[in-house]
Amino acid sequence: MITSTKLAALGAATLLALAGCSNSAPPAADLSATPSSAAVSYPLTVPDCGKEVTFKAAPTKVMTIGSDAIALLDAAGAADRIIARSGEFGAELPGGLSHPPSGATIIDPSDPTTEKILGSGAETVVGYGFFKADPKTLADAGITLLTISGECGHDANDEVKPVTFEVILGDVTRFGQIFGTTTVAEQSVSRLNARIKAVQDGKPASTRSAAAVYYFSSSAPMSAYGGAGILQTQLTVNGLSNVYGNQPKTYLEVSTESLLKADPEVIVLAYGLFGESFETAKKRLLAEPGAKDLRAVKAGRIIPLLANQTSASPAAIDGLEALHQAVAGLGS
């Protein structure tokens, strides 16, 4: 999505959840029906990362940056508004989408420039930040910019407020209001809340130490997840204590030495950021100096997790369930 410390996500970057994970798609919303805009009046002003954004009408032409934006709009019932995509870095889309935007043009697999956004035909851009584009120029051209709430401040690598499932579900609700699809958004929030509660109710009685690591690209060094992202919550709910959880950032560049020193009982290995398989990511991890001496490696406790299930979108609930099943399979 940008630099190796920023990640992405996914943004932001997939397949279905792990084999055997409960990841069936919810019933598809009828996007051909008239949007429930009667419940929303315009002009509409909504918060956006400390600012306010006003819409005179529901947006009809949207460009996304990263797959998190796609998953959020899909849950909100507005995936049919996506006409252009970017920032996915070759990763697969999240599994279980009701309406995958397969007809939308991928104008740039990486971070889009000002020129490419202007040429996309979009009137609204939803994503994780701007790294090659100038927000002022875009705003002056009449393009409305919306940032995923879970990505506020991440583009500057700032210390950020921890992302929770409430933040993600709040974004589904917010996008439902913006696009006049509140009924679909409310139904999605209800289903997602039920899935979250089911995992929370089955939290393990004991806690294991864990590190969650990833490789942003084929040449990037190993990175880890700190305590600010949704993965911190995913780990905690599943009885895993993040050895990097005291770091108030979402993405960290870490050394192999720090991982060896922490020597976690479990390693969660996120993969798929640039289209790589779990096998490829695991091979790189095991090639790190001293990695085969780690307790988690010796015990075979390396849990695979799709990278787009570790960021601020509904796909994180798939990740929560995948971790739950994987932890249950570790035994005592």
CATH number for the domain whose boundaries are 204-328: 3.40.50.1980
Domain spans of the chain, in order of start: 37-198, 204-328
Tens of pLDDT, residue by residue over 192-242, are 999 999 999 999 999 999 999 999 999 999 999 999 999 999 999 999 999
Q: Which amino acid is at 72?
A: L
Yes or no: say if 210 and 243 are a contact pair by the CB < 8 Å rule.
yes
Amino acid at 275: G
Q: How far is CA 265 from CA 140, 221, 235, 297, in A?
A: 52, 22, 13, 9
Enumerate the β-bridge partners of residue 82.
62
Domains 37-198 and 204-328 share a fold: yes
- For the record, the structure tokens of 299 come out as 């015990």
Tens of pLDDT, residues 28-57 = 333 333 344 446 899 999 999 999 999 999
3-state secondary structure of 205: coil
Mean pLDDT of the chain: 88
Q: How crowded is residue 102: how many other Cβ atoms within 10 Å of its Cβ?
A: 9
Amino acid at 331: G
**Model confidence over 246-257: pLDDT tens digits?**
999 999 999 999
Taking the model in full, what pTM does it have? Answer: 0.86
> The domain 37-198 belongs to what CATH superfamily?
Nitrogenase molybdenum iron protein domain (3.40.50.1980)
Least confident range from 17-26, 45-54, 202-211, 286-295: namely 17-26
Q: Tokens for 78, please give them.
A: 């507005």
d(CA 186, CA 189): 5
